[in-house]
Structure 1
């Protein structure tokens, strides 16, 4: 329970920090879409929703916002004619790489006295907790 008590406030504080440090108009939701595409390459909206355990409708709104700003674009999906792939544009790559660089610099400062073993243990615990609640995720 102590981990749950920390994860919620940590998540909200990180969200606020991301929004404060992000380029004007870049929401946490759009940032999440850009980061997902940066890490995995082109994806469909439903796939992004499943990856993030959030609704397809929310992801679609974030994709629409990102597309309006020229950060992503829809391209044909050879595997599924009705579900386009969403990919980063050049501006999207530039934007998310800048955001990630700022975030990594901040995290390096915060992790000053943490060891690799500390981080590995944290990731192991949080991954296990996520797995425990995987089945309770509603439809994405």
Structure 2
């Protein structure tokens, strides 16, 4: 099975890099780097979050996520609000401009993703998500040890 998982990595790496380049190429349109896009998407899906929570969700350093949040805040895309659960760790939330920017990116990406369909089924996608989720879980546990 390990050799088959390497096949997944062999496809996943180039796919990630191509998607990243596509987002970066469109940066002048929305003003988003791949890191800022990831922060905005997390906030779109989950609502206001702290920087440490975003870092854990993305398996990135808190410092890197803080830089992305700072970039997004400088562009007026996010803002810090008080966190009732923790005075020193503000919640970060989307501004209206941030919501509009990530919605535009998602809409554009959705148009590209419509081309993927072909003969793929919902079951194929379910299997793909299950495999990738399992791989992520294994590496998360490996990182913790």
TM-score relative to the length of structure 2: 0.91
Shift of the 33–89 alpha-carbon distance from structure 1 to 2, 3 Å rule, reads same
Name stretches of at least 5 consecutive residues in structure 2 with no aligned partner: 1-5
1:108 and 2:133 equivalent?
no
Alpha-carbon deviations, 1:5-46, whole Å to 9, x = none? 111111111101122234253100000000000000000000
Contact 2:30 2:101 in 1 (8 A): no
* Distance in 2, Cα, partners of 1:101 & 1:53: 25
* Distance in 2, Cα, partners of 1:82 & 1:44: 10
Of residues 71, 78, 102, the one that matches 1:65 is 71
1:110 is paired with a residue whose SS is coil
Please, which moves more after superposition, 7-16 or 112-121? 112-121
Of residues 9, 28, 33, the one that matches 2:14 is 9
Name stretches of at least 5 consecutive residues in structure 1 with no aligned partner: none
Root mean square deviation of aligned Cα: 1.2
Of residues 93, 99, 114, the one that matches 1:87 is 93
* Distance in 2, Cα, partners of 1:97 & 1:137: 33
Aligned residue pair count: 138
* Distance in 2, Cα, partners of 1:92 & 1:24: 9
Match of 1:126 in 2: 132
Please, which moves more after superposition, 55-64 or 7-16? 7-16
Match of 2:44 in 1: 38
Match of 1:54 in 2: 60
